[in-house]
Structure 1
Amino acid sequence: MDGLNDAIAFAEGDRTRGVILKVEVQNVDIAALRRRLGLSQSR
């Protein structure tokens, strides 16, 4: 229950009860990736 209470407090603005992680993801060419993996579908 502590985790739930922390999540509620954080959602209500209490920034002392929670952790913020920022992850940066590079741009991915999904079409090229699907072709390389053989996952492309014919139209």
Structure 2
Amino acid sequence: MLEREAKILSLAGLSGEDVHQVFRQAYDKNIEILAELLELVEDEERPF
């Protein structure tokens, strides 16, 4: 699947480094979202 996205970004005129940066930013954002979800789950598990 990543190959397809990389090819699309390449066809859009992005260099290999640009493609790497796009995937890195998406990965970082996913980690950020997962950390926020984990905090929400942990908050739900705490008694009031």
Identify the TM-score tier after normalising by the shorter chain. 0.3 to 0.5
The structure number with the bigger radius of gyration is: 1
TM-score (norm 1): 0.35
Higher helix share: 2
- The alignment's TM-score, normalised by the length of structure 2, stands at 0.32
